[in-house]
Structure 1
């Protein structure tokens, strides 16, 4: 990645400077990241190999778990390693790549959550037309469009980052590279770039959250026309989705829809957004979903049985 800045590397301040707390950060986030990998990979493998989970809802859940895994991986391993490092150094190119990955998979998660809401809307509000509308090739096209949209968003973020000039200070008061902490180090007027950041990332987060809340409100209202069993099943699924949406978009909106000011809870909000949400998503999606849990039992029971023979 070409760059003509005087700064060739950045130093990350991390979450804490206290030695004992750094060891706690290492242990806690190693557990969280391991749980994220195990939980999401378990969902991915189960959906991939279980015939019972062939509906569009699980097709999109597959990509949500994939995006969660990649999103967490773009941040967590470096945070874990840096927790025990005296110097937390990241190259300029490495910093730009982290910005790209963070926004690529974060935006992909947003689009997948929207597609999951669309799927639930069609399934509950247009049940007779559901097989016609949500065909497999249609779902594939939607996922491809989501990847394209995420890539365009990430390219826009990198374009903004590359416009920043760094002429001396290189200490990032954060545990990862993102545009907000980089704006504070830039040796230039960053008003326009911050405005573009808010109008890009902030607008995507806010408008997507509003769209999702409206769609789930319409879905929940339409449940009064369904049977008691249908309401129970749909309500359980939609509740899980709504919890995931709130947990993801709350921190996202907090971080990307405000001026470049610093608050004491910024890092904790960022931790919840980048580490906590990918960890909680598989728990929420599986513990409240009997079909996924049954498919997991059957799949691993068959695997264990075949290995014992």
Structure 2
């Protein structure tokens, strides 16, 4: 799924409601907001979960209350898989909105819902931008290289189409749930990217530049390799071995019997996963392959 350039600045909202009257009213409200994009509506929990995985909304709004316990538990499970999603429960019986993992508040009218959707999470407004960006990179580690690519690319102001062209070919984006538009929105929320509205371009902020420097794959690789001297040789060995693309079983065979992996017991996936997260390996077409950053570290 790809977010269009025209839509990439809008907050993507998914609506779940067990009642057509409630859902219809909220749907009409959301559609009137130019900076909100209603990407889907469902009344069945199972169908809603499937749609959420497919549509990758940034905000989920659902009808809350005593009768909604099952739906609430199911939707809360989404937060574990996608920590950047905001889950907002609206109880029509006592006029309260609950922003899950945040605080509950009373509302004067249902129109307050749009204000809650648009407001940034309190933790994001209080923490330094650099920390928020590093937290994002950690939470969406599978997209870490894509985040770094956007921050570096947009040090020179770029159009959305340019960002998309640079990010979509990355191996991490193959069959990805989130689009470059999602990543841009999250980076903007956390102070790493800003929109130059008159030009229609995106530019990395000063905080974003600092994080891009810290997140440079070769730097993170060196930190990983030097962090635990007992494993340094294995990391370097795997990087060198995968300069020729290798199957998972080939890497396992390479490391089989290595005494450094016995106490404590670790497996080959410990090293390939760490190197992938640090930007030294990439998983392409069923093979582990050393990246450009990995080859740079090897010299």
TM-score bin, normalised by smaller chain? under 0.3
Name the structure where helix makes up a greater proportion of residues: 1
Looking at both structures, which has the greater relative contact order when contacts are Cα pairs under 8 Å and sequence separation is at least 6?
1
Q: What's the TM-score once normalised by structure 1's chain length?
A: 0.24
Q: What's the TM-score once normalised by structure 2's chain length?
A: 0.25
Name the structure where strand makes up a greater proportion of residues: 2
